[in-house]
Amino acid sequence: MLPDDRLRDLLQQAEDRARPEPEFMDGLFDDLLTRRRRHVLRLGRWELPRPVAYGALVPLVVVVAVVGFLGVTSPRSPSTGVGGVSPSPSASASPAPAASPAGSGDQGPMALVDAESETFRYLAPDGWDTFDASSPELPDVVNVLRLGQQDPEDDWTAADITARSIEFLADTGDHVVGEGAVAIDPASNGVDGALVISVGEFGSMTPAFAGTQLSENMGAATAAGDVTEPLSREIGLGEATSVSGAYPSGHVMHRAYVPIGNDEVIEIALVTKLGRDDSAPLFEAILNSIERATESPSSYRTCLVALDPVSSPALGETILFTGNGFRPGSVVVATDVGPTGTHPIEAKAPEQFQVGADGTFGPIDLTYSGPEEIGSHAITFTDGVCESTLEFTIGG
């Protein structure tokens, strides 16, 4: 028998003779340069076999549904337009297969069972009962979370999962840039909120929510030469065009952009039902997590515009808007996307958009009187840094 030292020497000889192909070396290095540029997070250790592909208009969007209040049922039927997503089985009216308390106060675990019957638990932040990845049309999204869960005993917070989702996006190389896509309709899925995260060039992303497809709207608007007013954002990227979002009535959207260099941003949009007071803290927590991971301050500040008294006012009825969390002393610009097209609404109540020292404005009273205004409206309020969008319907 060969002595151990001799055996070891022979094996070392074998190892020393192995050489990679130059083409492989160069290709991998180029890939690493791209990934280095895109890499913004240092969380998690995923193994991703391939980028998610979801149609030509949906390069990549990770969607995480924040499933609120278990047992909430949807008054709507699922709405899945272009880019829309059917209700996820695990994010439906009976969403949590393992929703029993975990001995952690209001938190509840959720068991996510993947195709290989591996089960992992996630804990949502306080007040959010379960946390779920969703989308049967984006199966790899679920897979991402499964792969991302290295330790089943490790209870992730919503922010952790979100950050890791972003890392997934960052890891997928060139495929992440492009138009954003729609993910989930919180209302039709019986959830209280939905979170969309995408990475791409600022202004190129159009996250929206099924029911009113922003990407679809954007295409139609562009074709008609009717684009939304440009909005200036103070995030070091210069002027960029943004399109106001639209989502089911009775919801509010938080949206923020985290610059990651090379004119690219991570866009985070959280839509929640009105009245969920914890949506802003949740969003802020998610954002803070992302900012820490990216070491990048974002443009985000919590700002909200509330609609009173109803989400479907009748024609001629006075609507009251109240904003808070805006930049003190700034002037809020509001753009309405409605049946008559896109137009600013300052002319209707210009004096009301001055933000006070406490970051609030309003209440603004606004009345739609012409029959041409009947239909869906989405008003985006922005102080140039922070924006909040409301959708409502003017009834006949």
Partner 1 sequence: MWRRGGSASRESVTTFDLAAVIADDIAFRHWYDMTAPRVYAYLYSRTGSASAAEELTQETFIEVVRSPRTFDGRSADALPWVIGIARHRLSRHFRRSKLDDGRSNELVREIEIAGEDTRPWRTIEQRADVVAALDGLPKDQRAALMLRFLDGLSVKAVADTLGRSEDATESLIRRARQSFEAAYRGAQ
What does the binding site for partner 1 look like in residue numbers (CB under 8 A)?
A: 1-2, 4, 7-8, 10-21, 24-25, 28-29, 31-33, 35-36, 39, 41-42, 45, 47, 167, 171
Q: Calculate the alpha carbon distances from 48 to 147, 167, 186, 195, 250 in Å.
A: 8, 11, 28, 22, 37
Question: How far, in Å, CA of 366 to CA of 46, rounded?
Answer: 50
Nearest distance from residue 8's CB to partner 1, in Å? 5
Nearest distance from residue 25's CB to partner 1, in Å? 6
In terms of CB distance, is 8 or 139 closer to partner 1? 8
In terms of CB distance, is 42 or 292 closer to partner 1? 42
CA nearest to 355, candidates 323, 320, 381, 387: 323
Supply the DSSP symbol for 86: P
Q: What count of residues does the chain have?
A: 396
SS3 392: strand
In terms of CB distance, is 296 or 376 closer to partner 1? 296
In terms of CB distance, is 8 or 220 closer to partner 1? 8
Supply the DSSP symbol for 283: H
Supply the DSSP symbol for 17: H
In terms of CB distance, is 35 or 327 closer to partner 1? 35
Nearest distance from residue 21's CB to partner 1, in Å? 8
- List residues bridging with 395 in a β-sheet: 314
Supply the DSSP symbol for 176: G
Nearest distance from residue 135's CB to partner 1, in Å? 25
Question: How far, in Å, CA of 301 to CA of 255, rounded?
Answer: 9
In terms of CB distance, is 32 or 227 closer to partner 1? 32
Nearest distance from residue 4's CB to partner 1, in Å? 7
Question: How far, in Å, CA of 90 to CA of 12, rounded?
Answer: 52
Nearest distance from residue 155's CB to partner 1, in Å? 22
